């Protein structure tokens, strides 16, 4: 059984059998906090988000508690929030990075620790190497990991993102185009957002409830084998367009 924490450009993913547990989440959070401290001067602030998976909310709060204990200001999203919205918020604020608890399009057994830079981007290989060195250190020195029991403030990043979409895109043109759209949320973090943007009662929204089991699909990935209802709606019910989002909203199927 391999329980080592190995980061890619977006962070770390695992199952309970391969090391997904509170101890390793604490190690990841402390290692990320150390990186933020080493690379940013003055007051520091980090966003923590999460998706609809089992334990995502708990792992997000645990991560926030560790990061906060390192004298870094932390805000946690007030609901499951897509990764692109977290990235957008960090990029357009004074925050120094983000952690998103998600396994993206992986199956329900998986979860992960995704990270974003102060520009809302993935980290490069050099930066990941440094974070992995921190992970090696805290894996061997778990007593050095800090944790706080202070209350973490929540933040709604969705409304600002929606306002930006409406400011930069002429939504009225879409509304007046007579297009009817089918959206498959795949029970993920994007659920409910398109309704707020498009505000069209003729549109159809599939699998819009949060569900960590992602029923009737192998994984929340917008590929053909998982989109039979969406395809049927578009081809047989004469909808103009079908859209599908993966678990954390950074993959789009059309």
* Nearest residue to 67 via CA among 92, 93, 101: 101
Which token pair is 131?
């974070």
Structure tokens at 191: 């659920």
Name every residue whose Cβ is closer than 8 Å to that of residue 60 and which is 6 or more positions away in sequence: 48, 49, 50, 76, 77, 99, 101
Active-site residue, selected from the candidate residues 104, 117, 118, 191 = 104
204-206: strand order across its sheet: 204-206, 181-184, 241-245, 252-253
Distance of alpha carbon 76 from its chain centroid, rounded? 12
Residue position matching structure tokens 């306002």: 163
Question: Could you please report the per-residue DSSP string of 79-105?
Answer: S---HHHHHHHHHTSS---EEEE--TT
Active site residue 240: no
Question: Could you tell me if residue 134 is left (phi over 0), alpha (psi between -120 and 50 degrees) or otherwise beta?
Answer: alpha
Query: Looking at the annotation, which residues are catalytic?
Result: 104
């Amino acid at each position: 059984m391999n329980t080592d924490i190995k980061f890619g450009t977006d962070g770390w993913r695992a199952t309970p059998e391969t090391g997904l547990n509170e101890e390793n989440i604490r190690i990841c959070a402390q290692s990320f906090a150390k990186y933020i401290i080493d690379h940013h001067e003055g007051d520091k602030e980090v966003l923590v988000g999460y998706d609809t998976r089992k334990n995502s909310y708990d792992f997000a709060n645990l991560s926030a508690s560790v990061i906060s204990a390192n004298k870094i200001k932390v805000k946690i999203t007030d609901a499951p929030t897509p990764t692109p919205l977290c990235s957008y918020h960090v990029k357009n604020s004074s925050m120094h990075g983000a952690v998103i608890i998600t396994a993206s399009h992986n199956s329900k057994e998986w979860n992960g620790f995704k990270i974003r830079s102060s520009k809302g981007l993935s980290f490069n290989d050099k930066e990941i190497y440094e974070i992995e060195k921190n992970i090696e250190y805290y894996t061997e020195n778990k007593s050095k990991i800090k944790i706080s029991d202070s209350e973490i403030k929540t933040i709604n990043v969705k409304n600002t993102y929606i306002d930006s979409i409406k400011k930069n895109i002429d939504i009225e043109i879409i509304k007046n185009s007579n297009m009817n759209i089918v959206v498959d949320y795949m029970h993920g973090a994007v659920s409910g957002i398109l309704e707020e943007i498009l505000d069209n009662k003729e549109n159809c929204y599939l699998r819009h409830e949060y569900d960590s089991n992602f029923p009737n699909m192998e994984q929340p990935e917008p590929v053909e084998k998982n989109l039979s209802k969406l395809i049927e709606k578009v081809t047989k019910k004469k909808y103009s367009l079908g859209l599908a989002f993966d678990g954390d909203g950074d993959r789009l199927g059309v």
